[in-house]
Amino acid sequence: MIGLKGLLERRPGLRVLIYAGKGGLGKTTLSAASSLLLSESKRVLVFSTDPQASLSDVFERDVFGKGEVKIAENLYVLEIDADKRINEYVASIKKKIIDMYRLDKLPPDLEEYIDSAAAEPAMYESAVYDAMVDVVAEGKYDYYIFDMPPFGHGIRMVAMADVLSQWVEKITELRKQAYEYGRVAASLKRAKLTYEDEILKELQYIRDRIVAFRNIITNRETSALMVVVTPERMSILDTEKALEMFSSLGLEAAGIVVNQVYPPELAKSPDTPEYIRNRVEEQRKYMAEIKQKFGDMVVSVVPMLNREPKGLEALSLVAKELWSPSKSLDDYI
């Protein structure tokens, strides 16, 4: 196994690490450990959105919704409060309409429409991705580590980026046409034209954002999609599905990290209780399956610690194995 170190040597242009996959496997812990490693020499931002399994817990600091917080030298954490972001965004749209047309309040049906749009799950994901684009575009850091929420429909924005970008081009064309007709009619009738420039500007903005997001996710030189798996039946199946989904979207996972693995020595030691021994034996079977199914894609195996990996000290244990694994994959089988 090449470890994260090997991956970075192989792809020196990497700037963005994205930990993806389902919840509960340790994406957040591995994101935090990666950021800790990389911050030894470079400025790193680790980014998360999930208020449940959060960087706040891992770093033992409340960072949720507090912007970019410095945790250690060169290490910054950003935990987005997506709901707050959506609320602020929606409020700004409402305010804009009220100000533009000098209304006392929004008509109820429009208010309802905006609120229901804001409640859609797709909205949450879009807000997260939009925040991602923000921080990467700003370019203040050398490395960006993203602890992604479990993928939903939103990741399809990647597949849709091309379509959408063409769409927006078409819409823009349409808008220009409308503008031309409007201008002629307006000059004939000497009426005033409204907001055409603003609409075109917004369309351009939307297109740029969608394309920027696609570029962050799909650029193989600068971004690596990392998938986390544990030696369990369900987790292996889920990972297979995730890899299939990625390739259907034209994405490619850069590496797989196997997490929460019992040290194989436990099976050999005579002092090991039966209960643990069974567990270890079972895991060894699944490790063999992981090797057979994912083979070279496995970058690191991170052993189960004897306590929860919380706080900088425990994290550095995880980080060490992640960076350059002390055993080979076969040692776990």
Partner 1 sequence: MGILSRIREVVEGMAVHGQATSILRIKAQIDNLFMIITLGDMLGIPLLPPYYSLRLLPYMYPNIQNWKMYMLRERDVTDRIS
Contact residues for partner 1 (CB under 8 A)?
89-90, 93, 96-97, 100-101, 107, 110, 113-114, 117, 120, 122-123, 126-127, 130, 157, 164, 167, 171, 174-175, 177-178, 181-182, 184-185, 188-189, 194-195, 198-199, 202-203, 205-206, 209-210
- Bridge partners, residue 146, by sequence: 18, 47
Of the two residues 52 and 92, which places its CB atom closer to partner 1 in the complex?
A: 92
Query: What is the spatial distance between Cα 71 and Cα 142, in angstroms, rounded to a whole number?
Result: 16
Q: What is the CA radius of gyration of the chain?
A: 24
Query: What is the spatial distance between Cα 156 and Cα 246, in angstroms, rounded to a whole number?
Result: 10
Residues 6+ apart with CB under 8 A from 239: 21, 227, 229, 256, 294
Nearest Cα neighbor of 71 from 82, 83, 55 is: 55
Query: What is the spatial distance between Cα 248 and Cα 243, in angstroms, rounded to a whole number?
Result: 9
Question: Which 3 state secondary structure label does DSSP give 104?
Answer: coil
Query: What is the spatial distance between Cα 329 and Cα 333, in angstroms, rounded to a whole number?
Result: 7
Residues 6+ apart with CB under 8 A from 52: none
Angle between helices 121-138 and 108-119 (to 10 degrees): 70
Given strand 68-72, what is the order of strands in its sheet?
Answer: 68-72, 75-79, 44-48, 143-147, 16-20, 223-229, 253-261, 298-303
Of the two residues 152 and 295, which places its CB atom closer to partner 1 in the complex?
A: 152
Q: Is the dihedral of CA 250, 212, 12, 146 positive or negative?
A: negative
